[in-house]
Structure 1
Amino acid sequence: MLDTILITVLIVAICIALLGVGIILKGKFPNTHVSGNKALRKKGIGCVQSQDREAQKVNKRAIAEVEKQSNDEIN
């Protein structure tokens, strides 16, 4: 039983070391964020947090009456 645990720990340690080699050679941690994916950017797919932040921005060109009316409808 102890042999199995030691072999497992050794295999996990080797895997972590090999993953670390890739990071060390590239000099940076890989970008796994949605915005870092070129194929998704081409399709116009972005991060939900970024899209929400963009939707929450106040439109400076909006007409005040329309904005007020939409706010009244929401409340």
Structure 2
Amino acid sequence: MTFKVILLAIALMVVVAILMSVGVFLKKKGGMVNTHVGGNKELTKRGISCATSQDREERKRK
């Protein structure tokens, strides 16, 4: 019984991984979505950046 559940879970994970990769390969631009603050054009226009980038810039100034 436990073995069947484990096999079912593994099979389900394989199917999900395949379906997720289909979107990446079939998209015109492909790849994963950039969720980093620096990759957002609207935030960049407003002068907003991530805390790590701001910290790095401040350390360079001092």
Pick the TM interval, shorter chain.
0.5 to 0.7
Q: TM-score with structure 1 length normalisation?
A: 0.58
Q: CA deviation at 1:22?
A: 1.5
* Structure 2: 5+ residue stretches without partners: none
Which segment drifts farther, 30-39 or 17-26?
30-39
Identity %: 43
Q: TM-score with structure 2 length normalisation?
A: 0.67
Q: How many residues end up aligned between the 2 structures?
A: 58
Q: CA deviation at 1:51?
A: 0.8
Greater relative contact order, per chain length (Cα 8 Å cut-off, separation 6+): 2
Structure 1 distance, partners of 2:3, 2:16, is 20
Residue in 1 that maps onto 2:56: 53
Q: How does 1:1-75 map to 2 (within 5 A)?
A: 1-26=2-27, 27-38=30-41, 41=43, 44-58=47-61
Q: CA-to-partner distance for each residue in 1:29-58, whole Å, 9 max, x for gaps?
A: 22121222355x166432112111222233
